[in-house]
Structure formats: structure tokens, C-alpha cells
Amino acid sequence: MALIAPPLVALAGGAGQVATVAYGAVTVDSAAREGARVASESPNKSLDFVVTLGVTTYTCGQSPSDALTESAVCDAVRSASGLLSASGLTITVTETSTISRLPSPPNLAGKKTCPGGALESGTVSGLPSGTVATMSSPTKATSGTVTTDSSGKYSICLSTPSGSQSQATAITATAVDSQGCAFSTSLSLTVTPSGTVTPSPGNMTLPVTGVCPSPAPTPTAAPTPTPTATATSTAPLPTPPPAATCSTVVADTSYVSIAVSYKVPVFAPFITRFFEDSPGSGQRTVTGTERMQIEPCAVTQGA
């Protein structure tokens, strides 16, 4: 027994060590997959750090932190950690390509400039719940689409007249609700060659009712014969579920990557050097990385 005991102890310890390392590797891989799934289905929450922190890589628990990212993808990975200590996980979220987003609302804080044009700001009141208004003008000089923020504030750059006379123009605010109804109003303005706009601020109020699209006529279907019960079936045939609708606002060309690592303790006698990351470290790092494509159907405005 004295001769056989050492090999048996080493064999038992080695088997336990292999099982511990294998379990850690499988668990971090599963946790990374769960995090990637949540991030691909809810990118507006999971990748909120891209907008708030201005970075493309986020490590869960870092400072400064992002509350939405922590509550979405980070918590999903920790919840899938099994018997591993959730606090010992190192979770890295990476946006591997640009995600299509709504145009950013104008930054109304501080002094505004409008080189070579006339700056007009104001507020659009009466926005339908959950919408912003798109601002347009025949003399718009602002590059790209101009939208209000959620409270209706906007800022738009207008072209100045080339001659010495002031020119009359207009600004139109249009908001479209979830039913496709368009709410629109306009404001007449005067722009001077020096860049002065009258009136300023240009406040507007959307109408209470909008112009809604006419519903398509419902085709008259031929009557379907009612199935009758037979000797082998006494229940009517089930009704098929309605077809799922899919948003086409976002193209399915974006990806998110989740990397998870964990330091597994090395405890088996005699064979530690075969498992340790470095001699004397007493641990072996296992990692798992998953990369998933963003699901367009799950990407909704503000979700």
C-alpha cells in the first residue's frame, strides 16, 4: 500500500483537476454564448456603452460603467456561470461593426455656431408618444437629417441669401407615430444676409390629429369548408398562428463579440506544472469567445 498509495493519490487528484478545468472551460463557453445571444437580441441596451462612453469595447464592472450594459449582457453572462464564482468572471463586450442607429438629436447645450449660415432653434410641441420630429426646409444648410430630441428641441442651420435682401423661407416639422400617421406643421421665417432669423426661437405645435394611411382593402376569401369530426378525430383543426412581422429598419450586417475568462484553481499534487499558466501561479485561465450577428427583428427604436 505504501508503494501504491502515491500513484493512486496522484491519479485521483489528476482526474479531479482535469474535471475542474474541463468544467470551467465548458461553463465560460456557455456563458459567452448566452451573453452573445442577449446582446444580439437587445443591442440597444447591451451596446449602450458605445453611445454613452464613446468606446467599442467594454469590460463588465469597469469604471466608468454603463448601467444598461451591466443590467443586460453582463448580468446574463453572470447568471449563466453555473458553479463558477460570478465575481471571478472577466467579461469583455466588443462591438465589431457599426450598428445602424437613428440620427443623433442636436446637442443644444452651450453656444451654437452655424458657419456660413443662419442658426434657428426652437421646440416642437405635441409630439406623439415615443416619437421625434424630422425638421426640413428648402433652405436647409445642415448636413444630414435633422431631428428633435425626445422633448422636441431642435437646431437647424439655414442658408443665408446671396444678395442684400432678406429671404422668406419655412421650416416643416413632421412626426410619424407607430400607426404610420403623419403629424406635420410649418413655420414661416425670414433670414437676413447677416444670418439673423425671425422669429427666433422657432417654436411650433403639431396638430392633434395626423394623416393616416388608408387601410388596404381586405380581399374576400372563398369560404373554407368546415372540417367535420371523424371516428378517429373529434376536435376541429387548429388555427395556424399569425405570421411574424419583422422590422427592416436595421440591416443584418452588424456583429457583437463576447469574451469570458475565468481562473480555475490548480490543486492536484505532483502535476501542477502541467496545468498552471506559469510555474507557481496556482491557477489555469480558461476562456470562451462567441461572436453573433445582430438580429434585425429584435432591433426596435428605443428598445
pLDDT at 246: 45
**Domain count along the chain:** 2
For the segment 146-152, the average pLDDT, to the nearest whole number, is 90
Question: Do the domain assignments include residue 256?
Answer: yes
State pTM to two decimals: 0.48
205, 233, 266 - which closes a domain = 205
Question: Residue type at 103?
Answer: P
For the segment 33-51, the average pLDDT, to the nearest whole number, is 87
149, 89: one domain: no
Do residues 119 and 191 lie in contact, with contact meaning Cβ atoms separated by under 8 Å? no
Backbone φ, ψ for residue 267 (5° rounding): -130, -15
State how far the alpha carbon of 217 is from the alpha carbons of 214, 220, 244, 291, in Å.
9, 9, 21, 44
pLDDT at 115: 74
Cβ-Cβ contacts under 8 Å for 253 (sequence gap 6 or more):
97
Q: What is the mean pLDDT of the chain?
A: 81
179, 205, 231 - which closes a domain = 205
For the segment 254-264, the average pLDDT, to the nearest whole number, is 90
pLDDT at 123: 94
89, 142: one domain: no
Question: Which range of residues forms the domain containing residue 273?
Answer: 5-100+249-298
For the segment 40-44, the average pLDDT, to the nearest whole number, is 84
pLDDT at 88: 93
In the predicted structure, residue 235 carries a pLDDT above the cut 60 = no
In angstroms, the CA 34 to CA 26 distance is: 12
176, 205, 234 - which closes a domain = 205
pLDDT at 303: 44
Residue found under cell 393616416: 212
In angstroms, the CA 69 to CA 288 distance is: 19
pLDDT at 175: 92
pLDDT at 105: 47
In angstroms, the CA 73 to CA 292 distance is: 13
Question: Do the domain assignments include residue 15?
Answer: yes
Question: Do the domain assignments include residue 111?
Answer: no
Cβ-Cβ contacts under 8 Å for 28 (sequence gap 6 or more):
81, 84, 89, 260, 261, 262, 286, 287, 288
Torsion, Cα 196 197 201 207, to 10 degrees, reads -170
253, 180: one domain: no
The 10s digit of each residue's pLDDT in 155-193 is 999 988 888 889 999 999 999 988 889 999 999 999 998
Question: Do the domain assignments include residue 243?
Answer: no
pLDDT at 58: 94
In the predicted structure, residue 238 carries a pLDDT above the cut 70 = no
Give the closest residue to 117 by CA, choosing from 137, 145, 139: 139
Question: Do the domain assignments include residue 239?
Answer: no
Question: Do the domain assignments include residue 21?
Answer: yes
For the segment 214-243, the average pLDDT, to the nearest whole number, is 61
- 154 versus 245: which is more confidently predicted? 154
Question: Do the domain assignments include residue 288?
Answer: yes
96, 121: one domain: no
CATH classification of the domain holding 124: 2.60.40
Do residues 89 and 288 lie in contact, with contact meaning Cβ atoms separated by under 8 Å? no
144, 198: one domain: yes
Order across the sheet with 182-191: list the strands.
146-147, 134-136, 167-176, 182-191, 197-198
In angstroms, the CA 42 to CA 258 distance is: 14
Cell matching residue 170: 419655412
Residue found under cell 489555469: 284
Question: Do the domain assignments include residue 143?
Answer: yes
The 10s digit of each residue's pLDDT in 89-139 is 999 999 876 544 444 444 444 445 677 788 999 999 999 988 899 999 998
In the predicted structure, residue 257 carries a pLDDT above the cut 80 = yes
Give the closest residue to 257 by CA, choosing from 81, 23, 91: 91
